[in-house]
Amino acid sequence: MPNAKTDLLSLPPDEAEAALAEHFEARGQPSYRVRQVLTWMFEECVATIAEMTNLPAAERDALDAAFSFLEPTADTVSRSSDGTVKHLWRLADGELVESVLIPTPDRLTLCVSSQAGCAMGCTFCATGWAGFQRQLTAGEIVSQYRASRRWALDHGYGRISNIVYMGMGEPLSNREALHPSLTLLNRGYGVGARRITVSTVGVVPGILELAEREEQFRLAVSLHAPESELRSQLIPLEKRHSLEELMAALVQFDRAGGRRITFEYAMIRGINDAPHLAPQLADLASSLNAFVNLIPYNPIPYQDWKASRGQRIEEFRSVLEARGVSVAVRVPRGRDIDAACGQLRASRMASDSPPMPDSGKRLEAASAYAGKDPAETDLTNPGKRPE
């Protein structure tokens, strides 16, 4: 059988340079061919080797024979009335992943996926309800940036300024691909480390690994509850890595210096928005000088929860500010196009196929946890969620 091609888009810059140097040397080509290819890859972000037009046709063919240069194809492109754009990408094996472009007056942020689906099973997340399929490669992560960058420039959105690993998947459960993709984006494509944020629900070993890197990548923690018992009802990983263990890891991350920590807190009516939770959240945030994003809950398939009322969100914000915590209420973006993590993929899966075998049980469990009327019932301290 022929040897498998090397995925050129997955190689960190130094490894890509070495592989290309070996390739061109074996073909008796001048060394400047390496720089030509790297320029096409990292600066021009071409979609195919065939577009590297300053290489002779024979060299392009030889490159294509030795290296894979696969990018996802756009299955669906949805543009919101607020300018948010969601791409549903189809990978080479048919799996679907999402990325989202979020424009604001001073930046263009791209959210990328690190897994096809997610195994964390968080009760509030559309990705978790749709299940886990596989890990993405570093090239599949980075190619979302490459393709989105071209789309943004072609459609008048300008250059992508910030990248967040906050699409579908738990990045720190795919560290084999996460770390080379971070290196690629930072050193290859020139995205500053402080403009790249890794999101996690609390994978402690991954947080500690990220803290050891010399680049100052930022960290966003999906907290969603300041009490371990409540958090375990929302985030099953809490039972493996407790809030206490998570906070200890965040202290180490903070001590590495220059790396902002953000707490993400989805405000879910009657679930995690009881007034007594606000000062507890403030205590956790102030201990790390963390920034807090209060996020009105986005509805998902198979779940009937609602966003907290505006007055309650404002009460949380006021308590946090009074305690000296930097806080913002995230304005919902792209709701008309299912722009929240996993929503478009989950909607597509729901429409293309019958419910998953366990979806009925999961819906029943969620309904039992949420109560018959989450709009009016305060279940901030519910009993154990039925399995």
> Any idea which residues carry the catalytic annotation?
98, 341
Would you say 328 and 296 are in contact if contact means Cβ atoms under 8 Å apart? no
Nearest to 146 by CA among 13, 65, 48, 34: 48
**DSSP per position, 40-58:** IIIII--SSGGG-TTS-HH
What region, left, alpha or beta, does residue 72 occupy, with left being phi > 0 and alpha being psi -120 to 50 degrees?
beta
b/e per residue 226-246 (b: at least 16 CB within 10 A): bbeebbbbbbbbbeebbbeeb
DSSP class of 187:
I
d(CA 117, CA 95): 9
All residues at 6 or more sequence positions from 192 whose CB lies less than 8 Å from its CB, including other chains: 186
What angle in degrees, to the nearest 10, is found between the helix axes of 175-183 and 204-212? Answer: 30
Token output for 39: 């320029």
d(CA 316, CA 322): 10
State the greatest distance between any 2 C-alpha atoms of the chain, in Å, as a whole number: 74
b/e per residue 309-347 (b: at least 16 CB within 10 A): eeebbeebbebbeeeebebebeeebbbebbbbbbbbbbb
DSSP class of 171:
G
